[in-house]
Amino acid sequence: ILNVEQSPQSLHVQEGDSTNFTCSFPSSNFYALHWYRWETAKSPEALFVMTLNGDEKKKGRISATLNTKEGYSYLYIKGSQPEDSATYLCAFTGTASKLTFGTGTRLQVTL
């Protein structure tokens, strides 16, 4: 059984704060790690696909790092804005092509 764990479960920050979340996953049979951003009543939106140990990806104020040897990834948001409020999901892909998701981190950014 593959366990993908995310922490914290929820997070409440003020506008302008920087924040980060953690995703831990099995370090064996690693193929890719995905981050999704999911706003209420919308489709999950792909942020990053990371495949190599040491990978760092960036999109605007959001960035992510990957450590496949120890099985974790961090997602960082710099200068949080209210529009960043969403659930952030990570998903692991091993030898099979399915995605195994964590339970997500719910971020709420207030003014």
- Which residues are at the interface with other proteins (CB under 8 A)? 4, 6, 31-32, 34, 36, 41-46, 49, 51, 89, 91, 93, 96-104
Residue 53's region, left for phi above 0, alpha for psi from -120 to 50, else beta, is beta
CA–chain centroid gap for 103, Å, is 11
Nearer to other proteins, 15 or 39 (CB): 39
For other proteins, the closer of residues 17 and 65 by Cβ is 65
Q: How far is the CB of 98 from other proteins (least distance, A)?
A: 4
Query: For 18-38, b where at least 16 C-beta lie within 10 A, e where not — what string?
Result: ebebebbbeeeebebbbbbbe
- Cβ closer to other proteins: 30 or 84? 30
Q: ∠ CA 98-41-48 to the nearest 5 degrees? A: 45
* CB of 77 or CB of 102, closer to other proteins: 102
Cis preceding linkage at 8, omega within 30: yes
